[in-house]
Amino acid sequence: MAIRNERRRHTRLGLDAQILVTDGTVVHTGRLCDIALRGLLVRFESGWTPAEGALHMVCIWFGNTTSINLEGRVAHSQVGLAGVAIERMELADASRLRRLVELNLGDHTLLDRELTALVGG
């Protein structure tokens, strides 16, 4: 696990997971590069480049019975890579994402700061 902070307000966790992205008609597969409470970075195995601003359903599959489903908007993209801003997710998925961040940060004060920034804007 790698933690990246850069200039973002939310710590990004480098985790490996399978990603399925669909616009309702076509499903594209990829790998999770990193994830935060507000977004994720995806590398598409086929080289697919989604249109910026497009809304997609995303399933993050962690290889066991755990998955996180969300609706996200493509914030930026280049060949085979896309940054997706999380727009909406069910409470159970948000809880799984929170727990994932909590376990990988290893510091409850960092998680509290992340959640405060998320709720506070």
Which residue type sits at 100?
L
Residue 36, domain extent:
2-120
From CA 89, how far away is CA 2, in angstroms rounded?
A: 24
How many structural domains comprise the chain?
1
* β-bridge partners, 74: 84
Determine the Cα angle at 8 with ends 4 and 13, to 5°.
Answer: 30
3-class DSSP assignment, residue 35: strand
Q: What is the pLDDT along the chain (121 residues), one digit of tens a residue?
A: 444 444 445 566 667 789 999 988 999 999 999 988 889 999 998 889 999 999 999 999 987 778 999 999 999 999 999 999 999 999 999 888 888 877 777 666 666 665 555 544 4
* CATH value at residue 106: 2.40.10.220
Question: pTM for this one?
Answer: 0.77
